[in-house]
Amino acid sequence: MFASLALPSVDETLWPAGEDDSEDRGREDPVAISFDERPDAASSPSRSAVSTLSASVGAYQNDIESVLITHEQIQGKIEELGQRISEDYAGRDLLLVGVLKGAFVMMADLSRHVRLPLEFDFMAVSSYGAATHTSGVVRILKDLDHEIHGRDVLLVEDIIDSGLTLSYLMKNLRTRKPSSLEVCALLQKTGVQQVPLDIKYRAFEIPPVFVVGYGLDYGERFRNLPFVGTLRPEVYRDAVS
C-alpha cells in the first residue's frame, strides 16, 4: 500500500499509526509509520525539525525532504524497549551486539535504558555500498571480539530491509551456540522482506523508502541527525541501486 504513495514535503508530518497496547510480552508490536495520517501542517513536527535543522547540522537543510520519525518519538520507543529488555533478561548473561555502523546510535541510547549488567560487542557488515538498496551480498568486515557460546545475545540493528543481511548474520551467530539469540531493530521496512525473520523487539515499521538519520547514512553522511527522515531525490539520483 505504501509504494503507490508520493513522498510528502517538509510541510507534511508522518505520525505513528498507533501505540502498542498489546498484552503479549513475546514479540514487540511496533509502531507503524504511514504516509496517510497527518495533522495540520501548521503544527507539523516535520516542518519544525527541518526548518530548525541548523541547530544540529545546518549544512543538511537542503538535503532533507521530510521527517519520518521525530527525535521524541524515537526516544519514547527506545525507553519502552529498554524496559521490556530489562524485564525479559533479568538474571541472565546479556551481551548486546551492535551491527556497525548504523546501529551505534540506537545501541548507545538503548543500553542506558536497560537496567541490568551487560556487555557490548560489535560486528561490521556491508551490503549497501554506495547504493540506496541492499545488494543482498553480505561481507563481514569486523567480527566479534567475545565468545558467545552459552551467552544470551541480543543483536541490535538499525534497519531491516530485505532481511538478507540479518538472516545471514543470525545463521552465522547460531553456529557459535549462544544460549539465546534475539533481535532488536529500530526500523523494519514493509513489503520488501525476502526471507522469514522473527524480530522480538522492533520499534517502528516504515514504508519501503530510503531513510537517513539517527545512525543511518547515505554516503557516510546524515548519521548524526536526531530524527529519521527522507532525502530529496536529487541527493541520491546518481546512486547505484
The CATH number of the domain holding residue 140 is: 3.40.50.2020
Q: Is there a domain that residue 224 lies in?
A: no
Give me the mean pLDDT over the 165-179 stretch: 94
Q: Which range, of 26-35, 39-48, 133-142, 181-190, averages the lowest pLDDT?
A: 39-48
Q: What was the pLDDT predicted at 112? A: 97
CA distance 99 to 155: 7
Share of the chain above pLDDT 90, in %: 58
Q: What was the pLDDT predicted at 29? A: 61
Q: Is there a domain that residue 24 lies in?
A: no
Q: Is there a domain that residue 58 lies in?
A: no
Give me the mean pLDDT over the 55-63 stretch: 79
The CA angle 136-110-157, to the nearest 5 degrees, is 5
Q: Is there a domain that residue 201 lies in?
A: yes
Annotated catalytic residue, options 29, 143, 161, 238: 161
Comparing 41 with 114, the larger pLDDT belongs to 114
Q: 63-95: per-residue pLDDT in tens?
A: 999 999 999 999 999 999 999 999 999 999 999
> Cell digits for 231?
532525502
Task: Quote the number of domains for the chain.
Answer: 1
Q: Is there a domain that residue 4 lies in?
A: no
Q: Is the model's pLDDT at 129 over the cut of 90?
A: no
Q: Is the model's pLDDT at 6 over the cut of 80?
A: no
CB 218 within 8 A of CB 199: no
Q: What was the pLDDT predicted at 57? A: 72
Q: What was the pLDDT predicted at 103? A: 95
Comparing 139 with 206, the larger pLDDT belongs to 206
Give the pairing type, strands 152-160 and 94-100. Answer: parallel
Q: What was the pLDDT predicted at 153? A: 98
Comparing 6 with 173, the larger pLDDT belongs to 173
Q: Is there a domain that residue 200 lies in?
A: yes
Q: Which range, of 29-43, 112-126, 146-160, averages the lowest pLDDT?
A: 29-43
Q: Is the model's pLDDT at 117 over the cut of 80?
A: yes
Secondary structure of 194-206 in HEC code, one letter for each residue: CCCCCCCEEEEEE
Q: Is there a domain that residue 26 lies in?
A: no
Task: Identify the sign of the CA torsion 22, 160, 239, 136.
Answer: negative
Q: Is there a domain that residue 37 lies in?
A: no
Give me the mean pLDDT over the 112-134 stretch: 80
Q: What was the pLDDT predicted at 19? A: 40
Comparing 137 with 184, the larger pLDDT belongs to 184
Residue 161 is a catalytic residue: yes
By residue range, what is the domain housing residue 90?
A: 76-216
CA distance 228 to 137: 25
Residues sharing a CB contact under 8 Å with residue 58, sequence separation 6 or more, in sequence order: none
